[in-house]
Amino acid sequence: MATITKRELVIKISNETGLTQSQVFDVIQRTLDSITDSLAHGDSVVMRNFGAFQVKETKAKIGRNPKNPGQDVPIPARAVVKFKPGKEMKEQVAGTLPLIREREESSKD
């Protein structure tokens, strides 16, 4: 499984559109900044056919210290970002299962 970086995404879109890498980077960065800013203000961000980002609260709980399992460690409530994929993304990703299995089997050899 490959990991796609922002830089690789910029290069790919630049090659496909003819826009300069600087222009593409600026658009991607502004998009990410806008999404982050909206989520930081408690708003949801919905992109049709891609998915939705929402801020949810995790409840406070008691954890365990891995170095001292007998010691309780309070974990406070916090805000986290959840992503729910859209219908089209779900359908496209669902078709990748054979590829994932194939890569896992080849990495075992």
Q: What is the pLDDT of residues 22-60, one digit of tens each?
A: 999 999 999 999 999 999 999 999 999 899 999 999 999
pLDDT-derived band at 109 (thresholds 50, 70, 90) equals low
Answer yes or no: are the C-beta atoms of 10 and 26 closer than 8 Å.
Answer: no
> What are the structural domains, with CATH classification, of the chain?
1-41 (no CATH), 44-109 (4.10.520.10)
pTM of this prediction exceeds 0.85 = no
Q: Which residue has the higher pLDDT, 1 or 105?
A: 105
Diameter over CA atoms, the chain: 60
**Averaged pLDDT of the chain:** 91
Two structure tokens written together for 75: 């974990």
Report CA dihedral (62, 67, 68, 73) to the nearest 10 degrees. -20
